[in-house]
């Protein structure tokens, strides 16, 4: 049972009523001493869930700031994950190289957990802190093996119709697009 003191009567402790949305409703039923000389109602909202801070390599590399900046470098709108990764790798090649050295990358060798998985997970934690916006979508081009892939935007997010896919920037699987895709792999550490 939650109790609070009426803001107008410091001697009046009021028992709250838990509401379906998790907030608690309070009512001081004294008629005098409140604005309008009528009972006073107020709500107390629950504390937001605890979102863990970034730690380890993410904290060391400043991903809390670097990943939103990598998205901002792409412009306004929504961007397929691969474009965000490339933007980060171009902004911070040493940090990206450390991740690839530690976890690998599917552009080098097929693996279950890669630098891409680490970055996408970090972006997910940042989205829960409202530092970036997330939307699910379909992977394209080199990322098309992912039927569900993350798309990212700066805050506040724009219209979902304003989105840029990997194939919009790099192309699809034609010979020219494959050459462009190879050129894009230049952001991968040797």
SS3 183: helix
Hey, which bits of the chain come out as E strands? Answer: 3-6, 9-15, 17-18, 24-28, 40-44, 78-80, 133-137, 149-153, 163-164
pLDDT at residue 179 tops 70 = no
Same domain, 31 and 117: no
pLDDT of residue 181: 58
Please tell me which residue, 29 or 85, carries the higher pLDDT value: 85
pLDDT of residue 174: 60
pLDDT of residue 50: 64
Distance of CA 35 to the CA centre of its chain: 42
Average confidence score pLDDT of the chain: 84
Within a domain: 93: yes
Contact between 37 and 8 under an 8 Å Cβ cutoff? The reply is no
pLDDT of residue 120: 92
Same domain, 63 and 115: yes
Neighbouring residues of 35: CB distance < 8 A, sequence distance ≥ 6: none
pTM over 0.75: no
For residue 82, give both structure tokens.
């691969």
Within a domain: 164: yes
Contact between 100 and 108 under an 8 Å Cβ cutoff? The reply is yes
Tell me how far apart the alpha carbons of residues 105 and 107 are, in angstroms, rounded to a whole number: 5
Same domain, 161 and 181: yes
pLDDT of residue 23: 78
pLDDT at residue 32 tops 80 = yes
Same domain, 74 and 7: no
Same domain, 79 and 106: yes
Same domain, 95 and 124: yes
Neighbouring residues of 144: CB distance < 8 A, sequence distance ≥ 6: 138
Same domain, 16 and 102: no
Of all residues in the chain, the percent with pLDDT exceeding 70 is 85
Domain that holds residue 137: 56-187
Same domain, 61 and 40: no
pLDDT of residue 66: 97
Q: pLDDT by residue (tens digit) across 50-67?
A: 666 788 999 999 999 999
- Before 156, cis peptide (omega within 30)? yes
Same domain, 61 and 39: no
Within a domain: 68: yes
pLDDT of residue 51: 62
């Amino acid at each position: 049972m939650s109790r609070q003191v009426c803001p107008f009567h410091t001697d009046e402790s009021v028992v709250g009523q838990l509401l379906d949305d998790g907030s608690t409703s309070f009512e001081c039923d004294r008629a005098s001493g409140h604005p309008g000389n009528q009972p006073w109602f107020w709500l107390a909202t629950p504390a937001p869930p605890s979102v863990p801070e970034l730690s380890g390599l993410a904290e060391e590399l400043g991903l809390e700031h670097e990943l939103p900046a990598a998205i901002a470098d792409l412009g306004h709108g929504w961007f397929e994950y691969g474009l965000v990764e490339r933007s980060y790798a171009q902004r911070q090649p040493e940090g990206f190289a450390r991740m690839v050295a530690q976890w690998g990358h599917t552009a080098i060798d097929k693996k279950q957990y890669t630098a891409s998985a680490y970055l996408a997970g970090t972006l997910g934690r940042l989205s829960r802190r409202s530092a970036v916006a997330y939307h699910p979508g379909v992977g394209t081009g080199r990322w098309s093996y992912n039927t569900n892939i993350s798309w990212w935007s700066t805050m506040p997010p724009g219209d979902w119709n304003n989105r840029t896919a990997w194939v919009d920037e790099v192309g699809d699987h034609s010979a020219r697009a494959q050459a462009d895709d190879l050129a894009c792999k230049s952001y991968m550490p040797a």
